Structures are given as structure tokens and as C-alpha cells.
Amino acid sequence: MDAIRYLLILSAVLFTIGAAGVLLRRNALVIFMCIEIMLNAVNLTFIALSRQLQSLDGQIFVFMVMAVAAAEVAIGLGIIVSIFRHRATTDVNDVSLLKG
């Protein structure tokens, strides 16, 4: 099998695992980890295609994704800890004030 196909399939599998985790887990921290796994799966696609196309543009995208992920984790974990301080839970089912 071509290396690029193998890498794209691997990346799709990792993204699917992350998406399934977001849909199936109820713990806010685990959901957040699954989002990180999805970001990493997309990074792998960018790097594989950057190698395939012999261009560095894909790697610049990965660089930006890493910067966004770092900022996102700092803010997101702050929000999760804040919610825990107020409501003593990290279960997203317990934080449903906007639900009609």
C-alpha cells in the first residue's frame, strides 16, 4: 500500500476515535482530550501531504494549529476548573442550563 494512503487512513482512524470520544464520553476533560486527538489527526494529514507535495506550507499550518491548541487548552482547562468550582462536576450532562 502506498505510504500516503496508509497515512491518510491512519489519520482518519485517529480522527474517528476522537469524534467518537466527543460523542460518547460525558466527562468534560475526556471530551477535551478527544478534541486534541482530532487536532493531531489533522496535523498528521497536513504533514504527510506536505511531504508528498514537497512543500512546507502544510507544516506552517501545523505550526498554527499547535499555537491555537496551546491557547485553547489554557482557556478551556481554566473554564473546566471554573465550572468545577461552581458546580462541583465535570460531567457535561450536569451543565445544561441552556437546554430548553
User: Which residues, numbered 17-76, are part of the site for other proteins (CB under 8 A)?
Assistant: 17-21, 23-27, 29-30, 32-34, 36-37, 40, 43-44, 47-57, 59-60, 62-64, 66-75
**Phi, psi dihedral angles at 27 (to 5 degrees):** -85, 125
Q: Which residue has the cell 489554557?
A: 74
Binding status of residue 95 toward other proteins by CB under 8 A: no
Q: 3-class DSSP state for residue 27?
A: strand
Residue 87 binds other proteins, judged by CB under 8 A: no
Q: What's the grid cell of residue 61?
A: 499550518
Residues touching other proteins, count (CB under 8 A): 73
